[in-house]
Chain A
């Protein structure tokens, strides 16, 4: 427990102890909650979870859709974040605010809004019926739902990362022979990497645990649009509380493995979280 190697008075030590106390309280609280689940479930529930074909499918759906959402979000977040950071255009502040709106939407509203858009508007119906891109109650809809609910985290992080990089590096790159495009690829993007990865992690975490809007927009059809979070809801709604908690532990375990892996690969990215 040390902030740095400077000489400390007893006041400094008390200050550090207070910080450490709050950190410990939160970490221990989370661990106690998980432990409560662990002690509640029984062997039968664990075996059910590990052997169920439907739960395996839900797990796979959760993993691939959340990663697909993360990649699509980053694909949008990098240019959008860079545009919001660098370009000056009328309505920029409004655009910047709108980017944050999905973060404050109640989750159910995202699902409801998507449902209304695709079923009640001409553009939505054109996309579904004429273009043949069906989202409502389809696996593709899971990714779209997660994207709407989570992409804001990626965009916000990317913008902040580009803001932190600043103009000077790009200006120097321009005098050294780069085009705007070149200075972006060679300088801005590598320097903003950690912030962008951090945004990706937040996006993935949000997408992986998303529940409410999925229930409304894509439902929870066994073997089709079911993901872990909706499985937990279905199991507990029919009284299988042990199984629901066992699935929750599986979800927590996968999240723990993924976050640890990304932390190891992403280096200091998580520091920005």
Chain B
């Protein structure tokens, strides 16, 4: 287990501030954040390449805070892979073993095994110049893995790869991680990448850890507007509590706690929405674009609770979904499937109804 206790580090104007984190043995952990948020610096602090100002780092309850990088048993793959261009692929992979003075026979065995695991045995005699992006990434990974570290730190390991190779490599990383049981901390700014590998994730912004949890928690229950927006939620509204709402639909006293049964009425612009839980004063609400349900505005059908009239103003097909920007009491974004989109016959100015189910609305902490 990796236990990081309130570590701080500064370089120039940047500060990594009082960061604490626990990562279980054998966990695939993804550290997310925009460029410049301090993700790479965090990794470098972990593997000892940057001396922290304060705090403690424990690996399996051993204090490694002041240990040299070579004594931490951590494998590290930097963002640019940093393969040694003066050595062949085989010598690159064997580098750590040679430094640690392994017997020649052991070096050959380990290098071959690792190359086989990653499917790069055919590259062993090649020079570094001339390897493709994917091959370079695999060799860098092999070089870090050959020492059989307890922890692998991967700094944006697939950011330089094309979409298809990226997916393949992520699937392979996940498979290898499960096979070897190694703890991986994978730094990325890409959500798809995180979803394809992560057991848990954290979001870092301006050197401050914003939230740690499963991706589902980060997606549905963000702790802040920043996390919500980073997780690509465009629908964040400011409102004011007007009073208590009705009990949540489908919940009976025997199935839910008193708190769960309560809802709050919140005024957003000209309309009132029911949101789960008890709240007071001014609040920030969010609903994920894929949770916004859209139906046609049939003549004669009345508008229900948490339903608002909207008109589409812009829409674009993103491959797997269609992003529709809606104009109404407040601006709204919905992600629709091809089938729903075709069924609604979306045109500029079509009258639609957006349904914001209470259970899908999340109230962000003030």
Contacts and interface: CB of A to CB of B under 8 A. Distances in A.
Interface residues of A, number: 17
A175 B70 contact: yes
A172 interface: yes
A193 B87 CA distance: 14
Nearest to B95: A176
Interface residues of B, number: 24
Given A168-B80, A187-B84, A190-B86, A173 B49 contact: no
A164 to B, nearest CB: 12
Contacts of A190: 86
Interface in B265-299: none
Contacts of B99: 173, 176-178, 182, 186
Contacts of B144: 175-176
B304 interface: no
Interface in B83-131: 84-86, 95-96, 99-100
B86 A175 contact: no
B29 interface: no
A260 interface: no
Contact of B147 (A171, A174, A176): A176
B69 to A, nearest CB: 4
Given A176-B96, A177-B100, A191 B80 contact: no
Given A182-B99, A186-B99, A175 B74 contact: yes
B69 A174 contact: yes
Contacts of B100: 177
Given A168-B78, A172-B78, A178 B70 contact: yes
Nearest to B50: A171
Given A169-B82, A169-B84, A191-B85, A174 B68 contact: yes
Nearest to B44: A171
Interface in A132-150: none
Contacts of B49: 171, 174-175
A179 interface: yes
B70 A177 contact: yes
Contacts of B84: 169, 173, 187, 191
Contacts of B47: 175
Contacts of B147: 176-177
Interface string A107-128: 0000000000000000000000
B85 A172 contact: no
B80 A175 contact: no
For A173, A177, A186, A191, which residue has the most chain B Cβ atoms within 10 angstroms? Answer: A177
B82 A175 contact: no
Interface string A172-210: 111111110010001100110100000000000000000
Contact of B143 (A176, A182, A193): A176
B154 to A, nearest CB: 12
A177 B44 CA distance: 15
B70 A172 contact: no
A164 B224 CA distance: 42
Contact of B82 (A168, A182, A186): A168
Nearest to A190: B86
Contact of A173 (B44, B48, B95): B95
B80 A177 contact: no
B69 A175 contact: yes
A191 B86 contact: yes
12 contacts: A169-B84, A171-B44, A171-B49, A171-B78, A173-B99, A175-B69, A175-B74, A175-B75, A175-B144, A177-B70, A186-B95, A191-B85
Interface of B: 44, 47-49, 68-70, 72, 74-76, 78, 80, 82, 84-86, 95-96, 99-100, 143-144, 147
Q: Which 9 A-B pairs have the closest CB atoms?
A: A176-B96, A177-B99, A175-B76, A168-B82, A174-B69, A177-B70, A172-B82, A190-B86, A175-B69
